[in-house]
Amino acid sequence: MEDHRKRYYDLIDHSVSVVVNCENDPQRFDKHVSQLNAVVSTYGLKLEQFNLLLDQILDPYSGFKVGMKLKLVGLLYSRDLLDFDTLIKIVSVFKVPSYYNDKSKVKLVPRNIQLKLSVLLLRNFPNIQWDKKILRLANLLFNALSIGYLRMNIGLFLVYMLNIANEIDPKFNLKYFFSIKKLEILIEFYEIDSKSSLPLLLQAYNFLGSAARAGIFDMIFLKLKALLKDVKIPKDVFGKLDAQYTESLLKITNDRFSLTRNIDMFKSMLININIASMLHSVTNTKKRKYTEDITDNGIIQLASFKFIDMFCQSIPYSFPPNIIVVLQYFSNLEFSDYGNIMSENFNTTQLGAAFPIYEPLLTCLKEQDILFLNYSVRKLLDVKQDRFTLTDDMFWLFRSINNISQIFNEPFPLMVDICAGKLVADYKGTLDQKLKILQLHSHLQFLEPNCSKWSKVLTDVIDMTFRHNNTRNMTALTFLAFKWSKDPLEFNRFIRLIIRKFRFRNFSLLKGFLVLLTSFQKLLHKDIDAQSLVLPPHIMAMAFFSNDLFQLNILLHHVLFCKVYYATHGIEQIDKTNSKALRELKELHNSYIVHICQCLWKDKVYEREIFSIPLEFIAKLPTKKPFDLIGMDCIKASVGDVFGDTDRDTRINVLNKLRDLGCNGIYDFLYNSIRSLQT
pLDDT digits (tens, 9 = 90+) for 583-627: 888 888 888 888 888 777 766 665 556 666 666 666 666 554 566
- DSSP 3-state of 147: coil
241-276 pLDDT, tens digit each? 888 888 888 888 888 878 888 887 888 788 777 766
- Listed residue (325, 360, 331) closest to 346, CA to CA: 360
Q: Strand, coil or helix: what is 316?
A: coil
> Do the Cβ atoms of 509 and 466 come closer than 8 Å?
yes
Distances (CA, A) of 30 to 13, 33, 112, 270, 594: 16, 5, 20, 39, 78
| Residue 598 CA from chain centroid, whole number | 50
Instruction: Please state, in angstroms and rounded to a whole number, the distance separating the CA atoms of residues 95 and 145.
Output: 10
Q: CA 426, CA 513: separation in Å to the nearest integer?
A: 32
Residue 357: which pLDDT band, with cuts at 50, 70 and 90?
very low
In the prediction, which pLDDT does 415 show? 93
Q: What angle do CA 235, 236, 241 make, to 5 degrees?
A: 145
Once rounded to an integer, what is the mean pLDDT over residues 204-222? 77
Q: What's the CA gap between 502 and 515, in Å, rounded?
A: 14
Contact 186/197 with Cβ under 8 angstroms?
A: yes
- Distances from the Cα of 265 to the Cα of 129, 342, 484, angstroms: 13, 26, 43
- Residue 582: which pLDDT band, with cuts at 50, 70 and 90? confident
Burial status of residue 23 (CB atoms within 10 A of its CB: 0-12, 13-18, 19 or more): middle
Return the closest-CA partner of residue 597 out of 506, 675, 487: 675
Domain residue spans of the chain: 1-79, 110-281, 284-409, 538-679
Task: Quote the pLDDT of residue 288.
Answer: 40
CA atoms of 614 and 637, how far apart (whole Å): 29
Q: CA-to-CA distance for 537 and 553, rounded, in angstroms?
A: 17
SS3 176: helix
490 vs 646: CA distance, rounded Å: 51
Contact indicator for 570, 533 with CB cutoff of 8 Å:
no
Tell me how far apart the alpha carbons of residues 121 and 117 are, in angstroms, rounded to a whole number.
Answer: 6
- pLDDT attached to residue 2: 58
- Cβ–Cβ under 8 Å, residues 177 and 203: no
Between residues 538 and 306, which one has the greater pLDDT?
538
C-alpha 43, offset from chain centre: 33
Q: φ and ψ at 346, to 5 degrees? A: -65, 140
pLDDT tier, 461 (very low <50, low <70, confident <90, very high otherwise):
very high
Residue pair 60/95 in contact (Cβ under 8 Å)? The answer is no
pTM (two decimals): 0.50
Residue 38 confidence (pLDDT) above 60: yes
